[in-house]
Chains A and B, each alone.
Chain A
Amino acid sequence: MPLPILATNNWYDFRDLSNFSRLILENLDKILPHGIVYVVAVLLGFVASFLIFVLPSQLIVGVYGERKLIGRIQSRYGPNRVGPFGLLQPIADAVKLMQKESLMPLRGDVIVMNIAPLIFVAPCVLLFAVIPFGPRMIIGNIPSALIYFIAVSGLPVLAAFMAGWGSDNKYSLFGAMRIVAMSISYEVPLVLALLGVVLFTGTLSLQGMVFWQRDLNIWIAFAQPLSFAIYFIAVGAELNRTPTDIAEAESEIVAGYLTEYSGMKWGLFYGMDIGYALAASAFAATVFLGGWSFFGLDKWVPPWLIIVTKTQLFYMIFIWTRGTLPRLRVDQLMAFAWKFMLPIAIANLFVLATERMMWVRAFDADLKFVWVFVPINLLFTAGVVFAWARFLGYRPENTPRKARLVNQAGGFIPLGGAKGETRP
């Protein structure tokens, strides 16, 4: 007979917070009049999600940690004035944004421009509905959660497009068109990479993928390193983060689709950019890095602590790339998506499908043989990336035979060749 606080016989299940909330709500339902318990559930969920996720991830790691870490990467202090270590900087920023005047361009489309931030916020909250935070801590355990995630994460692009169009500013429109083109381009390799994961796990449910990884004691990031790499690059481009943030490249087009926004409307875009990056990190941690399981450690540590930690560590990689890499040009990014990522994503999918078939036929679908494919896929990843880069890449020519554009020749070539010899 399990204790009422446990849902199963495992003694460590009390760490699953859904049992606490279920107990509280069931007992409150006996006392309170009918229906009030839903209001309590909403309040409880709000407080719990704020304490577990929003405060540590969005505010401390997302807003404060990002600025602090980029500051350290760039050899400066970062925020260090407000509060201890500058920890209250997000609050000061929010207060500043709220009292700023909300400027509107005279000829802009007021309605479209005003509802664009709202449409940008809503999908970000919806995305977290399918992220499992524990064996039972999941809001919507739907069977096609992966497609749900892809579908909902395509919606903010529309909001960005509305923002860019409604502003009636040519730089805004440039930014909006760039973000749509980027998102269409990088969606293709991203979905192909996730298809490889689905081939192995045989389920579209994120909870099912976590269970698959926990039962086999393997992370999909090890079994499919190329899928993981493609996902990381593609999602970084879709999130519009700095190595790939051509949609709001301040050195080219003032601030892209955010040019005409100010005050809290800009703040919503800024905050939700971090929110989407966190959602993508949580998704990557769930699909590729084992989710709330950690090779048996989830018996001793609360599962939700593991997934939140993984999310934040993955987000640190985003910050790292943002602080380190220079921004790419728009044509370079497009060419990278279509000429490099898409072919190797298709090759990756082909290899994974073959492996899946071999595994079903030769190993009788015995799941523990999935380890066999880890070294094969690692070698394949290194090989295909190297080979395709050699195939696509060109070496700079010092003495060109015929006239070429500068970018085709691989850089500026002084007349007479690099070594100074005269041309024939």
Chain B
Amino acid sequence: MNGAGPVIGFWALAALTLVAAGGVMVSRNLFHAVLFLIVSFVGIAGFFVLLSAEFLAMAQIVIYVGAISVLILFAVLLTPRAGRDNGETAVFPAAALLAVALAAVFLFVIYDADWATITSSPDVSVQAIGDALLDIWVVPFEIASVLLTAALVGAIMLVRTPEEEAEDALA
């Protein structure tokens, strides 16, 4: 890919993602913050498209925009109204310090890393990803799925109330 198109696309997506990420921080309303977060997820999916990793872009949309954001929205809605304000709290200085430290680490890594340019574009087709997941990386893949299943069962066990248990025992 060469020409002006990818460059314009990159800067437009970068602006979109960064503005949305800033919006997450400055918006006082938690619901608006989540919506900004979704926009920044979409922007990152756009970066994956620019890198010709379209499967990753689709996965980003399915998982982050389709599932995780919706879960965050639910969490925001189901918490009491007092928890909905995104204003200053007592942990603000600590959080700011942590953010600065994290940014420093990231900048250090970005400037220190040896960014080699690959000459041949890697095979990022769906078939190659599937082969890799079920061939070389099959153990981490299975461990991740077992972990997710355990988390699912655990979450269901946690949210069951004694009344529901009693109801089931009755039936």
Contact = CB atoms under 8 A, between A and B. Distances in A.
Contacts of B55: 144, 147
A404 interface: yes
Contacts of A147: 55, 58-59, 62, 126
Interface stretch (A4-12, A16-24, A156-164): A156-164
Nearest to A177: B77
Contact of A151 (B58, B167, B171): B58
Contacts of A404: 170-171
B54 A405 contact: no
A150 B55 CA distance: 12
A204 B35 CA distance: 30
B77 A403 contact: no
B70 A144 contact: no
A285 to B, nearest CB: 22
Interface string A92-129: 00000000000000000100100000000000000000
Given A184-B70, A204-B126, A112 B65 contact: no
Contacts of B35: 112, 162
Contacts of A162: 35
B37 to A, nearest CB: 11
B31 interface: yes
A402 B125 CA distance: 59
In the complex, which range does the number of interface residues on chain A fall in? 20 to 34
A150 to B, nearest CB: 6
Contact of B126 (A112, A144, A155): A144
Contact of A165 (B31, B67, B167): B31
A152 B67 CA distance: 12
B66 to A, nearest CB: 4
A251 interface: no
B28 interface: no
A180 B66 contact: no
B69 interface: yes
A107 to B, nearest CB: 13
Contacts of A405: 167, 170-171
B70 A180 contact: yes
Contacts of A48: none
B20 interface: no
A50 B38 CA distance: 32
A153 to B, nearest CB: 9
B61 A408 contact: no
Nearest to B32: A112
Interface in A207-255: none
Given A177-B77, A180-B70, A405-B167, A150 B126 contact: no
A154 B66 contact: yes
A144 B35 CA distance: 27
A408 B58 CA distance: 42
A55 B20 CA distance: 37
Contacts of A177: 74, 77
Given A158-B38, A158-B70, A148 B65 contact: no
Contacts of A352: none
A155 B66 contact: yes
Nearest to B168: A408
A173 B76 CA distance: 13
Contacts of B74: 177, 180
Main secondary structure on chain A at its contact with chain B? helix
Nearest to A148: B58
Task: Identify the interface centre among B69, B70, B74, B170: most chain A CB within 10 Å of its CB.
Answer: B70
Interface in A379-417: 402-405, 408
Contacts of A402: 170
A143 interface: yes
Task: Identify the interface centre among B29, B54, B58: most chain A CB within 10 Å of its CB.
Answer: B58
Contact of B31 (A112, A155, A184): A112
A142 interface: yes
A403 B62 contact: no
A151 B61 contact: yes
A158 B73 CA distance: 9
B112 to A, nearest CB: 35
B170 A154 contact: no
A204 B74 CA distance: 31
A404 B70 CA distance: 36
28 contacts: A112-B31, A112-B32, A143-B126, A144-B54, A144-B55, A144-B58, A147-B58, A147-B59, A147-B126, A150-B58, A151-B58, A151-B62, A151-B66, A154-B61, A154-B67, A155-B61, A157-B66, A157-B70, A158-B65, A158-B69, A161-B70, A161-B73, A165-B31, A165-B73, A173-B77, A180-B70, A402-B170, A405-B167
**Smallest CB-CB A-B distances: 7 pairs:** A154-B66, A151-B61, A147-B58, A151-B62, A151-B58, A144-B55, A144-B126
Interface of A: 109, 112, 142-144, 147-148, 150-152, 154-155, 157-158, 161-162, 165, 173, 177, 180, 184, 187, 204, 402-405, 408
Interface of B: 29, 31-32, 35, 38, 54-55, 58-59, 61-62, 65-67, 69-70, 73-74, 77, 125-126, 167, 170-171
Given A157-B70, A180-B70, 15 more contacts: A109-B29, A112-B35, A143-B54, A143-B125, A144-B55, A144-B58, A150-B58, A150-B62, A155-B65, A158-B65, A162-B35, A165-B31, A177-B77, A180-B73, A403-B170
